[in-house]
């Protein structure tokens, strides 16, 4: 069994797309290279060397630094899955050797504990990320095995998983403060066929919210690991993030406030929530647990209708890096962590593949082009951890972070993007995302080839040339944003009934499917309960959300008002920001005549004049001269 993370393997898809290929190339040539250097510079590799040598102390970095190496291995493995690369393979093998060398005979590996607090393993599940790091080890192990067929890292992952399976439910009962092990164990189950990994994932999912260990640790902070770690007091950190407004313990930070199957609202640290829900969706897919599925549907509904930015970004609040209340979506102080957007893509892709419902692919698309993509600079070297929807000009991407979770997370998403373009389900093929690419896969044993070309995101023309050795139905997504859509097979119209998948059930012998997706520049309003957006409009030219930057506009951005029926002119500018379509939207600005020497005047005496507000895709902001940015513009909405 070598079921990939999703139903199509990374190696089955070769992307060749005008929009995405440069991102993926920069990811390979800049990000992955740079991150390898960082593993050495940050001490991540040295930590493994010291652990392998049986030394004590000298640990460098945050206590979850091991995960940087694992995420890099996962991203590098996806690259190896797509094309061999002897140089990269050699470095991958070196890093695997270090990790294997550091692993104890009982399977445990975590250089923080091995070097700093060897007698305090599993004492601080809340904050010390042992299971989180182990989960990333397993994800890397699965990716490496599927890419290369080699068991070098898989054996390390299996050793760790077996150790966890031995310890938990026996010596220790508890759930991790940061979810990740759950989805990793299900991946391991899928690649090994060993039921105990699925059972252990279910144990962690089911125990969450019933378990009182997190609360116990909170009350015994001086007994648990990480109390005096110099790079940040991990134990004390719990006092901040695990308390409610009254200073009482509150498990919602780690989605441990209630059993998952009883949860109604997305709560707490948003990356943790997404990783948990991804695992739960996998679990539902494996077990058919209807109660858990009902929870997934409730939580998705809550997130998408009350707690999500128009970019697909999630988690508005800085201190908890997470969710707050319904409709609390501030723009300038938005957190909307890049990793949370990635986590949302992970979850939604699983929801899509579990249900075959296009709405999940729509959200993957929205998040991919906006909330996620803004996290990475056009140079592939600088990253946003935090993605505000408005800026006064002092928020900029940085090369790296002390808590370096986002850059390697972005790397593994870019490197595996092909997995999100297609999926298979019940013997049918789904074209989920419109990305120029070649798919060679099997659907229920039938070889299928798809050659896709796509003009997205700038225009909506997609061509698919399909070959199959048997009658595999192909489902093509019509996004919710398409104002009109036609799908033809060798020139013959197929039935299109609004948004959703159009099912083309036939034999395939090189037929050409043409998909034409119409869309207009659209002005969007937010629910009136969203205080920051009330009376304002955002501008979309699907799948892109647009933003205004000071560099493109004469007046300060706050002076522009965009009428709700404003016209917009789109212009493709191949030399701007690596090639973008800009929008000039009809707007008004205050007439400055008459204001001379006045600070306050009767409103009835003021006037306005016409102006155009120039917008660029949100993902492209902060790649030029620094200045104000805003997604939501003043309008005439009441």
Residue positions annotated with a catalytic role: 321, 405
Q: Determine, following the binding rule CB under 8 A, whether residue 637 of this chain makes contact with its own copies.
A: yes
Do the Cβ atoms of 72 and 411 come closer than 8 Å? yes
DSSP string, 244-305: -TTS-B-GGGGT-SS-GGG--S--SBHHHHHHHHHHHHHHHHHH--HHHHHHHHHHHHHHHH
Q: Determine, following the binding rule CB under 8 A, whether residue 593 of this chain makes contact with its own copies.
A: no
Give how far Cα 620 sits from Cα of 308, 456, 520, 623, 629, Å: 20, 16, 20, 6, 11
Cα(530)–Cα(409) distance, integer angstroms: 30
Residue from 224, 308, 345, 406 in contact with its own copies (CB under 8 A): 308
Site string for its own copies, 549-568 (x = CB under 8 A): -------x-xx-x--xx---
Site string for its own copies, 118-137 (x = CB under 8 A): --------------------
Cα(316)–Cα(542) distance, integer angstroms: 23
Q: Determine, following the binding rule CB under 8 A, whether residue 590 of this chain makes contact with its own copies.
A: yes
CA–chain centroid gap for 580, Å, is 23
Cα(48)–Cα(110) distance, integer angstroms: 9
Minimum CB distance to its own copies smaller for 203 or for 481: 481
Cα(62)–Cα(402) distance, integer angstroms: 7
Minimum CB distance to its own copies smaller for 367 or for 588: 588
Residue count, binding to its own copies (CB under 8 A): 46
Do the Cβ atoms of 183 and 197 come closer than 8 Å? no
Q: Which stretch binds its own copies (CB under 8 A): 237-245, 396-404, 420-428, 588-596?
A: 588-596
Joined tokens for residue 294: 């009902």
Residue from 41, 55, 210, 595 in contact with its own copies (CB under 8 A): 595
Minimum CB distance to its own copies smaller for 330 or for 617: 330
Cα(541)–Cα(530) distance, integer angstroms: 22
Residue from 378, 494, 534, 576 in contact with its own copies (CB under 8 A): 534
Q: Which stretch binds its own copies (CB under 8 A): 253-261, 285-293, 341-349, 592-600?
A: 592-600
Residue from 149, 445, 574, 597 in contact with its own copies (CB under 8 A): 597
Cα(408)–Cα(399) distance, integer angstroms: 12
Q: Could you tell me which residues are beta bridge partners of residue 452?
A: 437, 464
Residues 600-619 close enough to bind its own copies by CB under 8 A: 600-604, 606, 608
Minimum CB distance to its own copies smaller for 97 or for 328: 328
Q: Determine, following the binding rule CB under 8 A, whether residue 535 of this chain makes contact with its own copies.
A: yes
Q: Is the peptide bond before 205 cis (omega within 30 degrees of 0)?
A: no
Q: In whole angstroms, how close is the CB of 524 to its own copies at the nearest point?
A: 5
Cα(313)–Cα(343) distance, integer angstroms: 10
Q: Which stretch binds its own copies (CB under 8 A): 90-98, 216-224, 301-309, 370-378?
A: 301-309
Which residue, among 525, 126, 530, 183, has the nearest Cα to 324 in the 3D structure?
A: 530
Q: How many CA within 13 A on the CB side of residue 355? A: 19
DSSP string, 76-138: HHHHHHHS--HHHHHHHHHHHHHHHHHS-TTS---HHHHHT-GGGTTS-TTTS-HHHHHHHHH
Q: In whole angstroms, how close is the CB of 124 to its own copies at the nearest point?
A: 33
Cα(361)–Cα(32) distance, integer angstroms: 27
The label of the residue with tokens 């909330």 reads: 371
Q: Determine, following the binding rule CB under 8 A, whether residue 310 of this chain makes contact with its own copies.
A: yes
Minimum CB distance to its own copies smaller for 206 or for 586: 586
Q: In whole angstroms, how close is the CB of 532 to its own copies at the nearest point?
A: 8
Q: Determine, following the binding rule CB under 8 A, whether residue 526 of this chain makes contact with its own copies.
A: yes
Residue from 236, 440, 514, 522 in contact with its own copies (CB under 8 A): 522
Q: In whole angstroms, how close is the CB of 63 to its own copies at the nearest point?
A: 33
Minimum CB distance to its own copies smaller for 148 or for 367: 367
Give how far Cα 82 sits from Cα of 12, 89, 143, 462, 577, Å: 8, 12, 12, 23, 28
The label of the residue with tokens 């919602």 reads: 252
Q: Could you tell me which residues are beta bridge partners of residue 282?
A: none
Q: In whole angstroms, how close is the CB of 605 to its own copies at the nearest point?
A: 8
Residue from 399, 427, 510, 528 in contact with its own copies (CB under 8 A): 528
- By DSSP bridging, strand 474-478 and strand 428-431 are parallel
Q: In whole angstroms, how close is the CB of 361 to its own copies at the nearest point?
A: 18
Q: In whole angstroms, how close is the CB of 603 to its own copies at the nearest point?
A: 4
Q: In whole angstroms, how close is the CB of 319 to its own copies at the nearest point?
A: 16
Q: Determine, following the binding rule CB under 8 A, whether residue 525 of this chain makes contact with its own copies.
A: yes
For helices 195-207 and 270-287, give the axis angle rounded to 10 degrees: 130
Q: In whole angstroms, how close is the CB of 304 to its own copies at the nearest point?
A: 7
Minimum CB distance to its own copies smaller for 418 or for 479: 479
Q: Determine, following the binding rule CB under 8 A, whether residue 498 of this chain makes contact with its own copies.
A: no
Residues 420-459 close enough to bind its own copies by CB under 8 A: none
Residue from 538, 544, 550, 629 in contact with its own copies (CB under 8 A): 538
Q: In whole angstroms, how close is the CB of 372 to its own copies at the nearest point?
A: 18
Q: Determine, following the binding rule CB under 8 A, whether residue 333 of this chain makes contact with its own copies.
A: no
Minimum CB distance to its own copies smaller for 401 or for 595: 595
Cα(115)–Cα(55) distance, integer angstroms: 7
Q: How many CB atoms are located within 10 Å of the residue 520 CB?
A: 13
Binding residues for its own copies, rule: CB under 8 A, are 301, 304-306, 308, 310, 522-531, 534-535, 537-538, 556, 558-559, 561, 564-565, 588-590, 592, 595, 597-604, 606, 608, 634-638
């Amino acid at each position: 069994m070598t079921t990939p993370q999703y139903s199509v393997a990374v190696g089955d898809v070769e992307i060749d797309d005008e929009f995405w290929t440069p991102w993926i190339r920069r990811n390979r040539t800049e990000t992955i290279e740079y991150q390898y250097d960082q593993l050495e510079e940050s001490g991540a590799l040295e930590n493994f060397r010291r652990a392998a040598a049986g030394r004590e102390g000298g640990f460098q970095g945050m206590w979850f630094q091991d995960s940087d190496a694992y995420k890099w291995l996962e991203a590098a493995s996806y690259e190896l899955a797509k094309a061999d690369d002897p140089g990269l393979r050699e470095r991958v093998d070196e890093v695997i050797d270090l990790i294997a060398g550091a692993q104890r005979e009982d399977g445990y590996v975590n250089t923080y504990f091995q070097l700093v607090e060897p007698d305090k393993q599993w004492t601080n599940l809340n904050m010390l990320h042992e299971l989180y790091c182990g989960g990333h080890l397993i994800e890397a192990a699965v990716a490496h095995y599927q890419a290369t067929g080699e068991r070098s890292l898989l054996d390390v992952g299996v050793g760790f998983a077996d150790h966890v399976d031995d310890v938990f439910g026996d010596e220790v009962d508890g759930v991790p403060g940061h979810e990740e092990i759950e989805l990793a164990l299900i991946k391991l189950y899928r690649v090994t066929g060993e039921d105990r990994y699925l059972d252990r994932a279910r144990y962690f999912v089911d125990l969450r919210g019933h378990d009182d260990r997190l609360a116990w640790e909170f009350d015994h902070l001086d007994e648990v690991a990480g109390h005096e770690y110099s790079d940040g007091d991990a134990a004390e950190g719990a006092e901040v993030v695990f308390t409610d407004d009254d200073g009482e313990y509150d498990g919602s930070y780690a989605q441990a406030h209630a059993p998952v199957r009883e949860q109604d609202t997305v709560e707490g640290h948003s990356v943790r929530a997404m990783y948990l829900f991804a695992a739960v969706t996998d679990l539902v897919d494996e077990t058919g647990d209807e109660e858990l599925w009902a929870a997934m549907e409730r939580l998705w509904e809550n997130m998408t209708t009350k707690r999500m930015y128009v970019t697909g970004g999630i988690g508005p609040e800085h201190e908890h890096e997470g969710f707050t209340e319904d409709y609390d979506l501030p723009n300038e102080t938005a957190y909307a962590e890049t990793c949370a957007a990635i986590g949302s893509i992970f979850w939604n892709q699983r929801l899509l593949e579990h249900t075959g419902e296009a709405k999940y692919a729509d959200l993957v698309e929205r998040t991919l082009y906006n909330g996620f993509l803004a996290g990475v600079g056009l140079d592939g070297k600088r990253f946003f951890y935090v993605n505000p929807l408005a800026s006064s000009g002092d928020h900029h991407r940085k090369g790296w972070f002390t808590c370096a979770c986002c850059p390697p997370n972005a790397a593994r998403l870019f490197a595996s993007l092909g997995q999100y373009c297609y999926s298979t389900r019940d013997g049918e093929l789904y074209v989920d995302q419109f990305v120029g690419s070649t798919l060679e896969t099997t659907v229920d044993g039938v070889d299928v080839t798809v050659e896709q070309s796509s003009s997205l995101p700038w225009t909506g023309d997609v061509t698919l040339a399909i070959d199959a050795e048997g009658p595999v139905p192909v489902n093509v997504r019509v996004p919710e944003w398409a104002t009109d859509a036609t799908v033809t097979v060798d020139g013959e119209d197929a039935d299109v009934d609004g948004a959703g998948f159009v099912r083309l059930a036939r034999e395939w012998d090189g037929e050409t499917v043409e998909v034409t997706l119409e869309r207009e520049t659209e002005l969007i309003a937010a629910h009136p309960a969203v205080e920051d957006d009330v009376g304002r409009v955002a501008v979309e030219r699907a799948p892109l959300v647009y933003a205004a930057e000071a560099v493109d506009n004469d007046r300060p951005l706050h002076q522009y008002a965009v009428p709700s029926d404003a016209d917009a002119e789109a212009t493709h500018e191949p030399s701007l920001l690596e090639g973008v379509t800009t929008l000039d939207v009809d707007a008004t600005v205050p007439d400055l005549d008459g204001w001379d020497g006045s600070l306050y005047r009767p409103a009835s005496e003021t006037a306005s004049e016409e102006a155009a507000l120039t917008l660029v895709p949100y993902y492209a902001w902060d790649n030029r001269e620094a200045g104000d940015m805003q997604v939501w513009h003043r309008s005439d909405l009441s």
